[in-house]
Structure 1
Amino acid sequence: MSSISEFSAGAVPEEVVRAALRVSRTRGVPVADVPLLAVAEEAGISRSTLMRRLGGTRRALDEAVRAAGVDPGGQKPVRLRAVEAAAGLISEHGLTAATLERVAADARCSVHSLYAAFGGRDELLQAVYERYGPILDVEAVLAGPHEDLPETVRRVYRLLADALGREPRVLPAMLADALSRPEDPLVQSVYRRFFPRVLDGVGQWLTEEIAAGRIRDLPLLLLIQQMTGPVLSHFLLRPAAAHLPGAELPSTEEAIEVFAQNFLRAVALPPPPDRT
């Protein structure tokens, strides 16, 4: 049998390509989702004969279809489908809606596949928050070379504003659950997993700013809340406020600038006098 590397799109018989396209049209699915047995039956050959003509790999058929000018398509990987499905459920119904059974149904996979991809529900929720929340971007900003204090605050605020306004609205839904059901075991599990990362990221940066004498030495949790609370409140309520009669919302950048200046006035220390 020829190896995969010896096969190309041109090596796949044209009648096999045409058979795959016919089944795809009949079933209304991408070619990549058509079972090879169905292609073989449409082509009037056995599955084993089809596999020999494909050089033992489904990839050869997909490449031949692509060479004929048709995107073979196909489903996204289970992990990606599951993260998107869970995000949609959380956005619409809250954290408790994202059970493995409902995620599997929406992602068109099995619960077993979810366990294989993530290991469990907590790991799935972590992947959802990392994709749709701001934590990875904030960590990247604070782990790299820091700009001056005001610009770093603005950059963190921009990331929070973007995450709060992004569809699906995962971060607002998770914050709503934290406020409405703080004792719920699932809510507790999510925040036990992520709050240490907030302390490692934002908390470590603020601690360094305190040590450098640029901001006041305040309890760390209160300092984080003072920094993020007004921004979270504004951008959580902004979609509803936009529909209030006579409401004139500032632009996102204007709001960020106001909150940054207010935070800095509250906590920033004046630079030490120049003794030269």
Structure 2
Amino acid sequence: MHGHEQMQDLVAAALAAARERGRDVADVPLTAIAAAAGVSRSTLLRRLGGSRSTLDEAVRRAGVDPGGRRPVRERAIEAAARLVAERGLGAVTLDAVAERAACSLPSLHTVFEGRDGLLGAVYERHGPLIDLEALAADPPERLEDTVRSLYLAVITAFDREPRVLPAIFADLFSRPDGPAAHAMRAYLPRLFDTLDRLLLPHVEAGRIRPLPLPILVHLLLGPILTHILLRPVLEPILGADLPPVNEVCALFTEAYLRAVAQPE
């Protein structure tokens, strides 16, 4: 195999290893790149002339930033989240993200496989899903504590900076088939699976009426989402009459239990 073809194969192996780990090429160990190329580490180094910089330069010539700073994935998610919060989803093009994250456009395609993949990563990072999955992994014994913890996770996610979730819902309401809806299709199955794991044990124990899961979820999230989205408008008007967040969680928990709990 000629040297140029060998280098192309090594670049392809390095990009594949980086994509699998969600990291920059520069952050992937040579051992992992050698394994992806099907050679030993010593053989890899020999083909590179003993210097990793040869591979980094070849990756750069292929149109991908090899990194060495914070991983492209982290920089891109942060840049996209700030663009969403500042300008809305319409401003989140891969070109705009690449410019703000100081990375190349091909590197974004390599890491996220397109705009929907990037937006999905932003939703996962800045939405409540990770906190809800942690809650489902070790839920409280009491239904009341589970629901209150769930509400607190949702409210916290909406208040988290940069404020990504309000912009996402604005896009969902204005464009039901827009970019938010497209990226959410990969997000929602995990959300429903998590809520199922939180609620189903209480259904099976007879604490919650055996309603269809979508109805249980709508009753659970509909009122609290309405409150969160309207709260910035209501606060200047109602002032001290608007309950603080902890009290809101308790009130909506009580209301949900009245709606779905089985009579003792």
For the residues of structure 1 that align with 2:160 and 2:147, how far apart are their CA atoms? 20
1:249 to 242, 247, 257: 242
Amino acid at match of 1:119: E
Structure 1 104/210 Cα, relative in aligned 2: closer, same or farther at 3 Å?
same
Aligned-pair CA distance for 1:93: 2.4
Q: Partner residue of 1:51? A: none
1:264 to 241, 257, 261: 257
Aligned-pair CA distance for 1:245: 5.8
- The SS at the match of 1:242 is helix
Q: Partner residue of 2:122? A: 128
Q: Partner residue of 2:102? A: 108
Any conservation in 2 of the 1:241–1:247 contact (CA below 8 Å)?
no
- The SS at the match of 1:229 is helix
Aligned-pair CA distance for 1:246: 5.1
Amino acid at match of 2:149: R
Structure 1 99/135 Cα, relative in aligned 2: closer, same or farther at 3 Å?
same
Any conservation in 2 of the 1:242–1:249 contact (CA below 8 Å)?
yes
Query: Could you say which structure has the larger radius of gyration?
Result: 1
Any conservation in 2 of the 1:165–1:235 contact (CA below 8 Å)?
no
- The SS at the match of 1:139 is helix
Q: Percent identical across equivalent pairs? A: 48
Any conservation in 2 of the 1:100–1:114 contact (CA below 8 Å)?
yes
Q: Partner residue of 1:181? A: 175
Any conservation in 2 of the 1:142–1:201 contact (CA below 8 Å)?
yes
Name the one with the larger helix percent: 2
Moved over 6 A (4+): none
Q: Partner residue of 1:238? A: 231
| CA distances 1:76-110 after superposition (whole Å, capped 9, x unpaired) | 33221111110011112222321111111111211
Q: Partner residue of 2:197? A: 204
Which segment drifts farther, 117-126 or 238-247?
A: 238-247
Any conservation in 1 of the 2:202–2:208 contact (CA below 8 Å)?
yes
For the residues of structure 2 that align with 1:162 and 1:246, how far apart are their CA atoms? 20
Q: Partner residue of 2:113? A: 119
| CA distances 1:129-186 after superposition (whole Å, capped 9, x unpaired) | 12111101101101224421000001000000000111111111111211111122x2
Unaligned runs of 5+ in 2: 1-50, 54-67
Aligned-pair CA distance for 1:226: 0.7
1:217 to 198, 205, 210: 210
TM-score (norm 2): 0.70
Any conservation in 1 of the 2:139–2:146 contact (CA below 8 Å)?
no
2:83 to 64, 84, 89: 89
Aligned-pair CA distance for 1:120: 2.2
1:98 to 88, 92, 107: 92
Unaligned runs of 5+ in 1: 1-55, 59-73, 272-276
